[in-house]
Amino acid sequence: MKTITTDFDYLAATTVEEALDLLAQHKDDDYKIVAGGQSLNTAMKHRLIAPEYIIDIKGLTDLDYITFDEKEGLKVGALATHRSLEKSPIVREKYCVLCEMEENVASVETRNWGTVVGDLCNADPAVDPAPPLIALDAKLKIASKGEERIVDAEEFVVDYYDTTVQPGEMATEILIPALPPNTGVYFTKYSQMLGDYALASASVLITLDAKKDKCVNVRIGFGGVGNTPIRAKKTEEVLKGKKITEALLAEAAEVAKTEINPVSGIEGSADYKRELAGTLLKRVGKVALERAQKA
Ligand SMILES: Cc1cc2nc3c(=O)[nH]c(=O)nc-3n(C[C@H](O)[C@H](O)[C@H](O)COP(=O)(O)OP(=O)(O)OC[C@H]3O[C@@H](n4cnc5c(N)ncnc54)[C@H](O)[C@@H]3O)c2cc1C
């Protein structure tokens, strides 16, 4: 039997520079970053992981921000909590889909302490923020000592509980472009209990032409129906350039079912989740369309 000890060295950073120095120094060690600890502490408590070093970034107040301007869009720092996104007046005004999404993430207690970036880095395939961020064409900024790179939201998670963040790196910011006119976005998840992870979730962004007739851009994100959150590009092609109707959304839902890859579990079979995702797409697409027409 493998014995897992719970001893670790605790290293707390107070600035981004300090955190990047610690990450560079421990690049080849068995370490974990901790932000709010809502997922990490649970994994450690259950002895699923036992890192030798914990690098605490909760003190990086310089990364605790949410800013918006029309040119650069929305920027969410790595230490911004779910609750601050949910309660941000500018987010509610410009990207209300993110506030709606946040209202059903876990409990208020978890949202008060857990960060949005930490949720993405934990990389559960059903993570709630991922589908709307994919729909919104968000990017993540990843930093290491002396370097920075930008990754599309749909490329960020690479497998179950694994992201593109490499040893020595940390995610520092989410960037979301300003929305063009005539754009509507919506997200919903289906879970067995309020605040639970989703069995399936979907988010759709639709931009209509000046006459509000045809769809000029559409982006679709799914959660919980594969080993990562998924951008459904083939499904988008069904809708792009066309007048969106309920019949067209039903056609798109059929394509979506072939583009996702759910697995069976105690909470539902793969076929059930496939059907669920198709149904969510039709519902979410309808609301996104109505919002685009009113925008
Ligand atoms: C009871 C419960 C219910 C939940 N329900 C939901 C739900 O319905 N929907 C949902 O989406 N989520 C849910 N969650 C997950 C929750 O949202 C996350 O636990 C929380 O947001 C993680 O943020 P954190 O700051 O606490 O991250 P931590 O727990 O500190 O870290 C999580 C992981 O991300 C890594 N990490 C953290 N920050 C960074 C960074 N800046 N750069 C690189 N790596 C980093 C850590 O090393 C760790 O691997 C639930 C959690 C709990 C405990």
- 51 and 9 in contact (C-beta within 8 Å)? no
Residue 126 clears pLDDT 80, i.e. is over it: yes
- 58 and 77 in contact (C-beta within 8 Å)? no
Instruction: Please tell me the pTM assigned to this model.
Output: 0.97
pLDDT (tens digit per residue) in 165-209: 999 999 999 999 999 999 999 999 999 888 889 999 999 999 999
Instruction: Report the mean per-residue pLDDT for the chain.
Output: 96
- 80 and 66 in contact (C-beta within 8 Å)? yes
Q: Atom 38 in ligand 1: which residue has the minimum CA distance?
A: 118
- 145 and 20 in contact (C-beta within 8 Å)? yes
The whole-number pLDDT of residue 6 equals 65
pLDDT band at 5 (very low <50, low <70, confident <90, very high): low
- 187 and 100 in contact (C-beta within 8 Å)? yes
Using the mean position of ligand 1's atoms as its centre, give its distance from the Cα of residue 163 in Å. 13
Question: Half-sphere exposure (CA, 13 Å, Cβ side) for 172?
Answer: 20
Mutation to probe ligand 1, out of 26, 30, 33, 158 (largest number of atoms < 8 A from CB): 33
Establish whether residue 197 lines the binding site of ligand 1, counting it when its CB lies within 6 angstroms of any ligand atom: yes
Using the mean position of ligand 1's atoms as its centre, give its distance from the Cα of residue 240 in Å. 34
Give the DSSP H or E segment for 39. none
Using the mean position of ligand 1's atoms as its centre, give its distance from the Cα of residue 35 in Å. 8
Closest CA to 36 of 62, 3, 60: 60
Atom in ligand 1 nearest the alpha carbon of residue 128: 11
Residue 41 clears pLDDT 80, i.e. is over it: yes
Residue 2 clears pLDDT 80, i.e. is over it: no
Q: Which two tokens stand for residue 179?
A: 């929305």
The whole-number pLDDT of residue 3 equals 52
Q: Average the pLDDT over 144-171 and give the result.
A: 98
Mutation to probe ligand 1, out of 15, 18, 38 (largest number of atoms < 8 A from CB): 38
Give the DSSP H or E segment for 4. none
Radius of gyration of the chain measured on its C-alpha atoms: 19
Angle at 220 between CA 214 and CA 223, to 5 degrees: 160
**3-state SS class at 117:** helix
Write the CA distances from 52 to 29, 49, 168, 235, integer angstroms. 8, 10, 15, 44
Atom in ligand 1 nearest the alpha carbon of residue 35: 30
Atom in ligand 1 nearest the alpha carbon of residue 127: 11
pLDDT band at 56 (very low <50, low <70, confident <90, very high): very high
> Rounded CA gap, 121 and 110, in Å?
16
For the chain, percent of residues with pLDDT exceeding 70: 98
- 202 and 220 in contact (C-beta within 8 Å)? yes
Closest CA to 118 of 152, 85, 87: 85
Residue 246 clears pLDDT 60, i.e. is over it: yes
